[in-house]
Amino acid sequence: MVVIIILMMILFPPFHVVYAPGIVIYEGYHFLYSPPSFQNRIVASVDITSLFVQLLAVIILASMHMYIVRDKH
């Protein structure tokens, strides 16, 4: 199940546009090979920081779950 969640997170990552120095516009989640555009001119890029934090959170939560439900024999 965790593998499917991680795969979906990679296929539908968060996108953003750096419009000007210090101005970041979040474009939401879209299919990896179909990025959104801002004002029909600027193509958004993957927000690597947000994606990394989300992946890290899923891995930590999955690890905690595996530790809690492990067989204690």
Q: Where are the domains of the chain?
A: 2-68
Q: Is the pLDDT of residue 51 over 90?
A: yes
Q: How far apart are CA 68 and CA 49, in angstroms?
A: 29
Question: Which uninterrupted H or E stretch holds 33?
Answer: none
The whole model's pTM is what? 0.85
Q: What is the pLDDT of residues 15-27, one digit of tens each?
A: 999 988 889 999 9
Q: What is the pLDDT of residues 25-36, one digit of tens each?
A: 999 999 999 999
| HSE, side-chain direction, 13 A CA sphere, residue 25 | 12
Do β-strands 14-20 and 45-46 pair in parallel, antiparallel, or remain unpaired?
Answer: antiparallel
Q: Check the CA dihedral 61-67-69-70 and report its sign.
A: positive
Measured from the Cβ of residue 2, the count of other Cβ atoms closer than 10 Å reads: 13
Q: Is the pLDDT of residue 10 over 90?
A: yes
